[in-house]
């Protein structure tokens, strides 16, 4: 029987589950550790590509959340009279819980804030961070896949998240995402639908509605009908502006996907070749937004 203090919070959350792909094969290289216990260069390289990759991904994701926390709606907040700025800091209220299980990450944040709003900020930060993470991971030749859901759950007394939203995110990542992409549950689109009442305060509700519109620019419908994070779409391009560093990362990501598609075609692995071919098509349809030409 559950005790009342088993949960520090129970209610609706945004949940994002991300799996770092290819780690099983890379972990096999740990077998290069010799019997005498001496560390070899081969083992050090394998360690970097496994534990090092996972820890680096965690650090980058956390850094992205921190950056987004500092710049959520900065122009609108700065334009307000000083006496109103404290009131509108409620937009920035968002505490993202980060958990790691082997090479799988779970990011969760409760939706209701201290003011009783159904805050859009957690979704905004998760979607924007996923866009960045997809670009960075592909550019680094470390593909990921994942899922985002909105649903019920609770933060247990030990600080971990548990609930139906996590189970749905796991199902979508494992059985639906398939290729390197981040799939959205239907509840995400329902939460972001135009006309949602995010707050009883009309001004708060209006600006949260504008944030929801920005969130909708970070998603798109994929060729199989599922909605996904549009990590190279116009929404992210408009938010970032002419950032040459990001453009370079996009080009590196594209080159990696092309190489993977060719490698799997040559090896006769039709399953993985198709996955990367679909990803290649997605990227090539958006390269013009970043000023990049397709190869061939």
In tens, the pLDDT along 130-154 reads 898 899 889 888 888 999 999 999 8
Q: Which two tokens stand for residue 31?
A: 């077998």
Residues 214, 124: Cα–Cα separation, whole Å = 8
Candidates 177, 238, 135; CA nearest to 16 is 177
Phi, psi of 209, rounded to the nearest 5 degrees:
-65, -35
Average pLDDT over residues 42-56: 62
Q: Which two tokens stand for residue 97?
A: 């819980």
Which of the residue ranges 76-85, 218-227, 253-262 would you say has the lowest mean pLDDT?
76-85
Which of the residue ranges 14-18, 110-114, 238-242, 246-250 would you say has the lowest mean pLDDT?
238-242
Q: Which residue has the higher pLDDT, 95 or 28?
A: 95
pLDDT of residue 289: 94
Judged by DSSP in three states, 100 sits in strand
Is the pLDDT confidence value at 122 over 80? yes
- Looking at domain 4-231, what is its CATH homologous superfamily? Nucleotide cyclase, GGDEF domain (3.30.70.1230)
Alpha helices, H only, the chain? 23-27, 41-47, 53-71, 74-78, 82-85, 121-139, 164-171, 186-192, 202-216, 234-240, 244-267, 270-284
Average pLDDT over residues 59-67: 69
pLDDT class for 1, splitting at 50, 70, 90? very low
In tens, the pLDDT along 174-204 reads 999 988 999 999 999 999 998 888 988 888 8
Which position has the token pair 């040559």?
A: 266
Q: Which residue has the higher pLDDT, 123 or 58?
A: 123
Is the pLDDT confidence value at 232 over 80? yes
Domain ranges across the chain? 4-231, 242-296
Judged by DSSP in three states, 31 sits in helix
In tens, the pLDDT along 208-217 reads 899 999 999 9
Average pLDDT over residues 1-7: 49
C-alpha to C-alpha distances, 188 to 104, 129, 142, 168, 223, nearest whole angstrom: 21, 16, 26, 12, 18
pLDDT of residue 167: 94
């Amino acid at each position: 029987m559950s005790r009342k203090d088993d949960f520090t919070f129970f209610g609706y959350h945004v949940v994002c589950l991300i799996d770092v792909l290819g780690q099983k094969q890379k972990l096999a290289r740990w077998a290069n550790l010799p019997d005498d216990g001496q560390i070899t260069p081969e083992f050090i390289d394998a360690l970097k590509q496994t534990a090092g990759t996972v820890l680096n991904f965690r650090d980058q994701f956390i850094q992205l959340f921190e950056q987004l926390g500092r710049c959520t709606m900065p122009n609108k907040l700065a334009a307000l009279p000083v006496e109103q700025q404290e009131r509108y800091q409620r937009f920035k209220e968002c505490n993202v819980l980060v958990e790691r299980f082997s090479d799988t990450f779970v990011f969760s944040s409760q939706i209701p804030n201290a003011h009783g709003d159904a805050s859009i900020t957690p979704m905004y930060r998760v979607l924007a961070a996923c866009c960045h993470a997809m670009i960075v991971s592909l550019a680094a030749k470390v593909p990921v896949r994942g899922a985002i859901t909105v649903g019920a759950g609770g933060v247990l007394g030990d600080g971990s998240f548990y609930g139906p939203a996590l189970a749905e995110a796991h199902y979508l990542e494992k059985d639906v995402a398939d290729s390197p992409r981040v799939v959205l549950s239907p509840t995400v689109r329902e939460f972001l639908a135009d006309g949602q009442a995010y707050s009883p305060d009309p001004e708060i509700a209006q600006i949260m509605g504008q944030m929801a519109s920005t969130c909708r620019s970070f998603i798109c419908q994929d060729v199989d009908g599922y909605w996904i994070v549009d990590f190279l779409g116009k929404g992210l391009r408009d938010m970032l502006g002419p950032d040459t560093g990001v453009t370079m990362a996009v080009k590196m990501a594209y080159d990696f996907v092309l190489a993977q598609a060719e490698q799997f075609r040559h090896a006769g692995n039709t399953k993985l070749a198709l996955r990367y071919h679909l990803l290649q098509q997605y990227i090539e349809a958006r390269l013009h937004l970043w000023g990049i030409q397709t190869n061939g």
